Structure 1
C-alpha cells in the first residue's frame, strides 16, 4: 500500500513537472528515474548526464530527457515496477537486486570469478540480448527494454590485513552476497559473512569482517578505504551492475529515427561509461599512494582450481538450469564466462 501511494504521488509530480517543461520548450521530453544523487560525481552519474546530453544533440533538440535524481520518483527497489508502469521512460535497474525476477540478465552473478572486464561484459550483454530473444522477453514481462549496460569495475578484495596467497585467505571473514561469492569464499577456506553495502564500513572498522570484494572506485566512493588499507588484486573479474532500461511502450512508440538514436547510444554509452570508470579507478589508485593503501599483487591463476570445486560448479549449474528452462542453449555463454 505504501509503495502504491508513493508511486501515485510520484506520477502526479512527474507528470506535472514534465508538462510544464514540455510547454516551455515545445519538445518531446522523456523522464529518467534514478536512485543516483545528481552531485555524486562518479562514472555512473556522469555517464547518465552524458547520455542525456547526447540524446538531445543526436535528435537535433527535437527530443530530450529530464532526469529525476536521487530516488525522487522511485527508490532503488521500486524502479523496475515504476519504469514498467510508466512513471519513467528511462531508468537505472540494479539487476542483481532482482535475481529471481531477471535470472537470465543476472548470468554474470553466478559466474564469479570470470575473466572479463566491464567493457567486455557490456559487449557480452548486448550480444546475448541480440542472439537470445529470451533475455529481452524476460524484461518485456515487466514492460521494460534494455537500452544500455553499466557493469561494475573488476573486483579484488579490500582487507584490513595483508593477503598474499590463497593460504592467507583461510579463516578470514569476508563480506558476501548473491550466489557465487558465498560458494567461492567457502571453497577458499574463508567464512562468508552476509552484510549489506551500507553496513560494510562499520563491519570493517569494528573487525566484524576482514575483507570485502570491491573495486577501487567503489571502495573510495563508500569510504571503505578509510578503514581497510590493503587492496588485494584477487582476479574476480567485473561484476554486472546496472541495466539502463526503458519503458517498453515508450520505446515502441518512438518514431524510427529516435529509436535509432537510442539503439546507437546503447553501444556508445558502454564505451563512454567504461572510459569514465577507468579514469575514476586510475584517480583512486593514484590517491592511494598518498593515503597509505597498499596494493598487493596476486597470482592471476590462483582461483583456477577453486572454480572446479563442487560448490562453485553447483552455483553455475543453478544458472545453467534456469537458462535451459527458458529455452536458452547455455554452452556458449558459459564458455565466455569461464576463467
Structure 2
C-alpha cells in the first residue's frame, strides 16, 4: 500500500480528533500556526500561550503547533471543523470567505500617502490598532465572515512595511517590467501589473522554493522573512520602499466558535486580554527583528536599493487611484456593498491611531493601549455567543 501525504494527514487529523475530542475549558487548546518552529511568529504565539495561562490563572492552556497540525492554507477550514481550537489565519488566502476584511487590509498602501514624519516609523502599530478596532466595532460584516466559518475573532496580527525581496535588482520601471512577483493581496497584484510585472499567488510556505527555483523573481513581503522563512538563502537584492503597505489581514487567535462558547465569561475576558498582548507583540516583535534581518542582509551581501524617484512618484499616484479600484473590485467580485463607506471610516480611525501610538515605547505600553482602547470594551457576555 502506498501512503500518500494526504492519507497521512487525514490519519493524523483523525487521531487528533479521537485523542482530544471537542476541547473544553479544562483541556489544553490546540493552536495551529503556518510558520515554522523557531520563527518570530512561533515565538509570538508561544508567548500568547504563556499569557493565556497567566490571564486565566492557569485554568486554560494552549499548545502551539507550528507548521505541523495545519498548513497556512488549511487553517481556516481546520479551525472551523475543530481540527484546531485556535488558528493564526491569513484572510488573503480565502478571498471569497473574508472579502470585507480583505478590502480594509488592502487599503494599507495608503500609508505611502501619509506624512512619514507624522508616522514616525510607527505605521505598523497604528494600522494594527486601527484594524483591530475597526473589525470589532465598525465592521459587522467582518464579524459575520468569521461567524460563517465557525470562528470568533479575538486578536489581530500585522507585518511591518512590505518591500521587494528579489533575486535580481528591481529599482525602476524597466527592471520591474516582466518580473514574476509573489503577492499577498490583489492590491499588490494590481501594482505589479500596472508596471508590467506579473503577479504570482503562493502561500508563505512556498515562497522560498519559488524564489530558489526561479518560479518567481521577487516576493512582496517584509525583510524579517529573510529570517523567518529562510529567504536570506536566496534573496540577492532588496528595494524596501516600494510597493509599501503592510499585511494586517491576519486573525492572530481565531477561536473555534464551539470552544469559545464553552468558556466562562472570565475566561473569555482573559482570552481577549491575551489577545491584546499578542496584537501588540506581533508588530513590535517584527520591528525589533528588522534590525536582525538587516544585519543578516549585510552579512549575506544582499544589496539594498532605493527606488528610482520616478517609480516612487508613480507608485504614490497608483495608490491614490487604487483606493477607488479597491471599492469597485470588491463590489464586483465579492458583492461588498458599502466599500467606500468602510474605507472612509477606516481612514479616520487610522489617523486617530497614528496619533495614539506616538508615545508608545515598549510592547507592554502598546498592549495596555490596545487593551484600554479596544479589547476591554468588548462585551464578553454576548460577543461570539449567538
Could you tell me which of 220, 225, 234 is aligned with 1:213?
220
1:24 aligned partner: none
Q: CA deviation at 1:104?
A: 1.4
1:23-71 Cα deviation digits (max 9, x unpaired): xxxx82241231446x722221011111111111122223322334433
1:87-145 Cα deviation digits (max 9, x unpaired): 43322222211110111122245436331843333212211222222211111112210
The CA distance in 2 between the partners of 1:289 and 1:76, in whole Å, is 30
2:129 maps to 1:113: no
2:381 aligned partner: none
Q: Is the 8 A contact 1:176 1:194 kept in 2?
A: yes
Q: Scaled by the length of structure 1, what TM-score is found?
A: 0.82
Q: Is the 8 A contact 2:192 2:198 kept in 1?
A: yes
Could you tell me which of 20, 26, 30 is aligned with 1:14?
20
The CA distance in 1 between the partners of 2:340 and 2:146, in whole Å, is 15
2:115 aligned partner: none
In structure 2, the CA distance between the partners of 1:88 and 1:171, relative to structure 1 (3 Å rule), is closer
Could you tell me which of 306, 310, 314 is aligned with 2:318?
306
Segment drifting more, 104-113 vs 237-246: 104-113
In structure 2, the CA distance between the partners of 1:308 and 1:189, relative to structure 1 (3 Å rule), is farther
Q: Is the 8 A contact 2:100 2:336 kept in 1?
A: no
1:169-224 Cα deviation digits (max 9, x unpaired): 23433334542222211212323345555554455445554322121111333333
1:144-293 map, 5 Å: 144-176=151-183, 178-194=185-201, 197-205=204-212, 207-233=214-240, 234-243=242-251, 244-293=253-302
The CA distance in 1 between the partners of 2:265 and 2:202, in whole Å, is 46
Q: Any unmatched runs of 5+ in structure 1? A: 20-26
Q: How many residues matched?
A: 327
Q: Any unmatched runs of 5+ in structure 2? A: 1-5, 113-122, 352-386
What is the aligned-residue RMSD (CA, Å)? 3.3
Q: Is the 8 A contact 2:161 2:222 kept in 1?
A: yes
Q: Is the 8 A contact 1:31 1:68 kept in 2?
A: no
1:325 aligned partner: 337
Q: Secondary structure at the match of 2:20?
A: helix
The CA distance in 2 between the partners of 1:84 and 1:329, in whole Å, is 30
Q: Secondary structure at the match of 2:41?
A: helix
